[in-house]
């Protein structure tokens, strides 16, 4: 491995209106190394990447690639120079096939025509190579976000990048898929590809990265070899506080449910062919029910039926004992059910609207568009949730597209929390959220359930599921296989055992 940097950024400054996103940041990347860029939501990680790849022009500073000064006028130019990027938000074209997405802009041709057969064959070989078994002719949109992300990574690998940038690629992958990805990364590193890895999963960062650069409030805190920076010190550098100050979340939820109380929502034999097998599940007032299972196990599909986002073709849902007929997103909202979906970009935020407008959308819809929410009430609620979720910048009038990925996620959560639903359904609420803010969100969920709200939530992080849930529904292969109730069952080990044992009888 040569020690000459492949990328050297010095004194980078980037201003957006009212925000100095980067302030004199230095960053050095060496061939064959995996380098983490760490920091809180809004610290400037994605902006640093976007400056490097020509999405944003820096206001000051220099960039060298292989020792030569560069300044890309866009991601295509950066890509041509050997820098491939997988952005935080999936940016592939949904309605094209998997193969078309892999080869967009560089399709194999036969004369003037695209050679679809060759393209599918090459796509299959490429995915086989990284251990992904997908139907390359199927639309990309028919796969989960996680799969879509892996396809984006496969594309980056195939263009033989000198530098590969991964901005939160693992936030929607399950354990097996993360292993696939980390394996691919190690292989690439051995071939000399340099990688920038951004992730809020500290265990992954420690497993895969050689060095770390830490940013805080747009400034460089420092650069360390991973081996020299213990986790608690890293967190301290990221948050600018002593790690010891970071209190653990106390379980404040337990015991709110009255044992003999009738359930608020009760699913009996609820199911949808090809999506989730018929299941029974109750949720009580003041109770947090977590859904655990591997990616593709049917967690999202389960909650979508209760949320009215998908239509069940068997069984029934009862709310307060009454059958919820004609259940769809509109009637579900009228029944006091709020659903915060996992894909914030396509199902969630309106980029050009402000933070405040995005937050108030669901509440406004619930009142009907003819009766607008009074300005004073609106401003008070928006300010309250900006504070509770520590949304930065704390500016209700900022277009939401200008917020960092994690802060956008918080805006979406606020939207559904502030309608004060009877049942709040959250699909992966803390994905992409930094360690400090994650604790804030978990605390808020506990607080809301303490006030009597029923909460149903999906999370790939078993720690989070066990910490927050009063009961845990475990899924496997699109089937609800167990509901864990007792304290002794609600452990990560027991959930894993249940999932593994669930397959024995097949
Ligand atoms: N296009 C933009 N216009 C205005 N402000 C922006 C723009 N893009 C980013 N910012 C601001 O720059 C700062 C840094 O954002 P950035 O996206 O780099 O954060 P991040 O470290 O990637 O955070 P996260 O972990 O949430 O993804 C934030 O205050 C953000 O609001
Ligand atoms: Mg980011």
Note whether 474 and 350 are same-domain residues: no
Residue 64 belongs to a domain: yes
Note whether 68 and 138 are same-domain residues: yes
Ligand 1 mean position to 47 CA, how many Å?
Answer: 6
Note whether 471 and 490 are same-domain residues: yes
Quote the domain boundaries for residue 361: 346-420
Residue 341 belongs to a domain: no
Atom 29, ligand 1: which residue's CA is nearest?
42
Note whether 64 and 158 are same-domain residues: yes
CATH of the domain at 484: 3.40.50.300
Ligand 2 mean position to 196 CA, how many Å?
Answer: 13
459: DSSP letter: -
Residue 2 belongs to a domain: no
With the most atoms of ligand 1 within 8 angstroms of its CB, the residue from 17, 38, 46 to mutate is: 46
Residue 446 belongs to a domain: yes
Note whether 142 and 184 are same-domain residues: yes
The response to whether residue 430 sits with its C-beta less than 6 Å from ligand 1 reads no
Ligand 2 mean position to 78 CA, how many Å?
Answer: 19
Atom 17, ligand 1: which residue's CA is nearest?
404
Note whether 326 and 253 are same-domain residues: yes
Ligand 1 mean position to 85 CA, how many Å?
Answer: 17
Note whether 186 and 162 are same-domain residues: yes
The response to whether residue 398 sits with its C-beta less than 6 Å from ligand 1 reads no
Per-residue pLDDT tens digits for 240-285: 765 445 554 444 444 455 556 889 999 999 999 989 999 999 999 9
Ligand 1 mean position to 45 CA, how many Å?
Answer: 8
DSSP assignment of 142-203? GS-HHHHHHHHHHHHHHTT-SEEEEESTTTT--HHHHHHHHHHHHHHHHTT-EEEEE-S-HH
With the most atoms of ligand 1 within 8 angstroms of its CB, the residue from 21, 199, 219 to mutate is: 21
How many other CB atoms are there within 10 angstroms of residue 134's CB atom? 20
Residue 232 belongs to a domain: yes
The response to whether residue 402 sits with its C-beta less than 6 Å from ligand 1 reads yes
Residue 133 belongs to a domain: yes
Note whether 355 and 217 are same-domain residues: no
Residue 411 belongs to a domain: yes
Task: Kindly give, in sequence order, each residue whose CB lies less than 8 Å from that of residue 458, ignoring residues fewer than 6 positions away.
Answer: 290, 291, 299, 300, 303, 342, 426, 427, 428
Q: Which pLDDT belongs to residue 135?
A: 93
Q: Which pLDDT belongs to residue 480?
A: 96
Q: Which pLDDT belongs to residue 434?
A: 86
Question: Domains in the chain: how many in total?
Answer: 3
The response to whether residue 408 sits with its C-beta less than 6 Å from ligand 1 reads no
Note whether 480 and 433 are same-domain residues: yes
Residues 52 and 29: their CA atoms lie apart, in Å, by 12
Atom 12, ligand 1: which residue's CA is nearest?
21
Note whether 107 and 38 are same-domain residues: yes
Per-residue pLDDT tens digits for 371-421: 888 889 999 999 999 999 989 999 999 999 899 888 988 998 999 898 889
Atom 3, ligand 1: which residue's CA is nearest?
402
Ligand 2 mean position to 58 CA, how many Å?
Answer: 17
402, 420, 438: which is the final residue of a domain? Answer: 420
Note whether 397 and 433 are same-domain residues: no
242, 271, 293: which is the final residue of a domain? Answer: 242
Closest approach atom of ligand 1 to CA 407: 26
Beta strands in 33-89 (DSSP E): 34-38, 60-65, 68-69, 83-86
Q: Which pLDDT belongs to residue 93?
A: 60
Q: Which pLDDT belongs to residue 153?
A: 80
242, 261, 281: which is the final residue of a domain? Answer: 242
Written as tens digits, the pLDDT of the chain (506 aa) is: 557 999 999 999 999 988 899 999 999 999 999 999 999 999 999 999 999 999 999 999 999 999 999 999 988 888 888 898 877 655 556 678 899 888 877 889 998 898 999 999 999 999 988 778 889 999 888 887 677 778 878 887 887 778 999 988 877 677 777 888 888 889 888 888 899 999 988 889 999 999 999 999 999 999 999 999 998 889 889 887 654 455 544 444 444 555 568 899 999 999 999 899 999 999 999 999 999 988 778 999 999 999 999 999 999 999 999 999 889 988 998 899 999 887 655 567 888 899 999 999 888 887 777 788 888 999 999 999 999 998 999 999 999 989 988 898 899 899 989 888 999 999 988 888 888 888 888 888 988 998 899 999 999 888 889 989 999 999 998 999 999 998 899 999 999 889 888 754 44
Closest approach atom of ligand 1 to CA 40: 25
Note whether 265 and 354 are same-domain residues: no
Question: Which CA distances in Å does 189 have to 157, 163, 352?
Answer: 12, 10, 39
Residues 195 and 489: their CA atoms lie apart, in Å, by 40
Q: Which pLDDT belongs to residue 470?
A: 92
Burial 432-463 (b: 16+ CB within 10 A, else e): bbbbbbbbbbbbbbbebbeeebbbbbbbbebe
Q: Which pLDDT belongs to residue 504?
A: 46
Closest approach atom of ligand 1 to CA 14: 12
The response to whether residue 406 sits with its C-beta less than 6 Å from ligand 1 reads yes
The response to whether residue 46 sits with its C-beta less than 6 Å from ligand 1 reads yes
The response to whether residue 21 sits with its C-beta less than 6 Å from ligand 1 reads yes
Residue 213 belongs to a domain: yes
Q: Which pLDDT belongs to residue 112?
A: 87
């Amino acid at each position: 491995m040569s020690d000459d940097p492949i990328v050297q950024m010095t004194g980078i400054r980037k201003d957006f209106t009212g925000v100095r996103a980067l302030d004199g940041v230095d960053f050095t990347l060496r061939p064959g190394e995996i380098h983490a860029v760490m920091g809180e939501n809004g610290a400037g990680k994605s902006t640093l990447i976007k400056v490097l790849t020509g999405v944003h022009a820096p206001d000051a500073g220099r960039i060298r690639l292989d020792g030569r000064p560069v300044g890309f006028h866009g991601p295509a130019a950066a890509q041509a120079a050997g820098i491939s990027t997988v952005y935080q938000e999936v940016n592939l074209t949904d309605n094209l096939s998997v193969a078309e997405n892999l080869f967009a802009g560089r399709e194999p041709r036969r004369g003037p025509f695209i050679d679809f057969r060759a393209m599918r064959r090459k796509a299959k070989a490429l995915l086989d190579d990284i251990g992904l078994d997908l139907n390359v002719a199927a639309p990309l949109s028919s796969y989960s976000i996680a799969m879509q992300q892996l396809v984006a990574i496969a594309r980056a690998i195939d263009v033989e990048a000198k530098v590969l940038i991964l901005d939160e690629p693992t936030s929607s992958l399950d354990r097996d898929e993360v292993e696939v990805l980390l394996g691919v990364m190690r292989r690439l590193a051995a071939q000399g590809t340099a990688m920038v890895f951004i992730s809020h999963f500290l265990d992954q960062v420690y497993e895969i990265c050689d060095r770390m650069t830490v940013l805080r409030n747009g400034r460089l805190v420092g650069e360390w070899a991973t081996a020299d920076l213990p986790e608690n010190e890293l967190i301290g550098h990221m948050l600018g506080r002593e790690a010891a100050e970071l209190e653990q979340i106390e379980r404040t939820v337990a015991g709110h449910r009255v044992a003999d109380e009738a359930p608020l929502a009760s699913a009996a034999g609820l199911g949808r062919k090809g999506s989730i097998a018929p299941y029974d599940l109750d949720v009580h007032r003041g109770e947090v029910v977590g859904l655990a299972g591997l990616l593709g196990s049917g967690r999202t599909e389960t909650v979508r039926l209760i949320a009215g986002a998908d239509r069940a073709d068997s069984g029934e849902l009862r709310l307060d004992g009454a059958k919820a007929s004609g259940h769809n997103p509109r009637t579900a909202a009228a029944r006091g059910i709020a659903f915060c979906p996992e894909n914030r970009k396509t199902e969630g935020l309106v980029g050009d609207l402000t933070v405040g407008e995005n937050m108030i959308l669901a509440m406004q819809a619930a009142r009907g568009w003819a009766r607008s929410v009074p300005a004073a009430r609106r401003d008070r609620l928006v300010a309250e949730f900006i504070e509770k979720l520590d949304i930065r910048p704390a500016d209700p009038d900022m277009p939401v597209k200008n917020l960092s990925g994690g802060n956008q996620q918080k805006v979406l959560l606020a939207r559904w929390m502030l309608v004060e639903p009877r049942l709040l359904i959250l699909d992966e609420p803390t994905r992409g959220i930094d360690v400090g803010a994650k604790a804030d969100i978990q605390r808020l969920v506990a607080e809301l359930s303490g006030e009597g709200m029923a909460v149903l939530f999906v999370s790939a992080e078993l720690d989070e599921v066990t910490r927050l849930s009063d009961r845990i529904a475990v899924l496997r292969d699109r089937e609800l296989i167990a509901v864990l109730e007792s304290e002794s069952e609600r452990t990560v080990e027991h959930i894993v055992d249940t999932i593994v044992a669930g397959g024995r009888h097949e």
